[in-house]
Structure 1
């Protein structure tokens, strides 16, 4: 099990984090594999469907055999009980859409990174007091980069990762990083297949898309 410090360093070294869920375990594996080939080394699977637990286990097994540099976390975790289930399966980090200090208490004891979702200064303060070193600003498309610019001086010891509705364009990513983000979570915009794609099960387009996103960060 990797420590909180190790995961934080890894996230900052590979600051694009795909956020994904699908009921089909084979599709999940193909998506993660394509992202890995495109340079992704941190991936957030989400607890958003009836197959989440089984599919996460399949992803961990596949990662352990084929993707040695990938850190695999679980998102949409709202209770300590959910966190415990996924940690037992091998989750490297825990992401929440809300601030629940009980999750912080549970994960901190195990030296596992918990990333809570926050939208207001009060929520950020509660998360900071609970011991969270990295905050997910959610939903990023509503909050906007200027919110981060204004809030960051109030919480100088915290790191921030916007997630939710963020575009893949260089200008969009640059806006967030220039205002103080250390990482960005990318969801549906990353995984939308090109229009007219005749081979939906061939994820070369996703490999290329991930490569292009990382390439746009070269001068970050």
Structure 2
């Protein structure tokens, strides 16, 4: 199985893609260790600060030593320079807030999963032209489950993951999965990048609610 398929299947199985940015290496490592202990096996670190490269490099190193079976991706990748940098570092997948054909080409050539952010049917169609196996609906709190329900028949077979404003609450989660998404992205609703207390319990709860929400 290739890396692209492995990561995609891991996201589908987990049903949630946790994400955060923290510019402190030690705090970021502690957060990811906690997520891993709670059962997370796919995680996105976002490229949203000057220290992203240094932190991500250390996360990969610690992962290789301690956290078997964890896939680490990098998010907020907007151009080919960023994509090439993190691909060379060893990112397992790339998440973008936009559709940049150069990024798509680089990620596809590397045999990795590219998850672009889309907000309109036209953007979704463009993402499909660049072989986006999984598309991020962003911002999810603006689009809502109704948007997913309205477009799913237009894009049969396409996998979607809403990100931005998804709540750790069974009715909210069920509304998304019933609308047709395959997983949800979750940042600040799950993770306070400066606070580790309670994160393990909160993550265990989120994973359990996701399992419930996915049941038909």
Q: Using structure 1 for the length normalisation, give the TM-score.
A: 0.93
Partner Cα separation in structure 1 for residue 52 and residue 110 of structure 2: 22
**In the alignment, which of 196, 205, 210 is matched to residue 198 of structure 2?**
205
User: Is this contact kept in 2: 1:105–1:130, CA < 8 A?
Assistant: yes
Alpha-carbon RMSD: 1.5
The residue that corresponds to 2:170 in the other structure is: 170
Partner Cα separation in structure 1 for residue 103 and residue 191 of structure 2: 29
The residue that corresponds to 1:214 in the other structure is: 207
User: Is this contact kept in 1: 2:15–2:211, CA < 8 A?
Assistant: no
Partner Cα separation in structure 2 for residue 212 and residue 56 of structure 1: 26
Closer, same or farther in 2 for the Cα pair 1:88/1:60, shift >3 Å?
same
User: Is this contact kept in 2: 1:4–1:113, CA < 8 A?
Assistant: yes
Unaligned runs of 5+ in 2: none
The residue that corresponds to 1:146 in the other structure is: 146
Partner SS state of residue 106, structure 2: helix
Q: Using structure 2 for the length normalisation, give the TM-score.
A: 0.94
Partner Cα separation in structure 2 for residue 131 and residue 217 of structure 1: 27
Q: How does 1:43-122 map to 2 (within 5 A)?
A: 43-122=43-122
- CA drift of 1:214 comes to 1.1
1:180-216 per-residue CA deviation (whole Å, 9 max, x = no partner) reads: 11111101111249xxxxxx76x35100001001111
1:58-109 per-residue CA deviation (whole Å, 9 max, x = no partner) reads: 0000111111121100000011221110011110000000011111111111
User: Is this contact kept in 2: 1:133–1:157, CA < 8 A?
Assistant: no
Aligned residues: 213
Partner SS state of residue 211, structure 2: coil
The list of structure 1 runs, each at least 4 consecutive aligned residues, that deviate by more than 6 angstroms after superposition, is none
Partner SS state of residue 29, structure 2: helix
Partner Cα separation in structure 1 for residue 109 and residue 140 of structure 2: 29
Q: How does 1:130-145 map to 2 (within 5 A)?
A: 130-145=130-145
Closer, same or farther in 2 for the Cα pair 1:2/1:57, shift >3 Å?
farther
Partner Cα separation in structure 1 for residue 63 and residue 192 of structure 2: 23
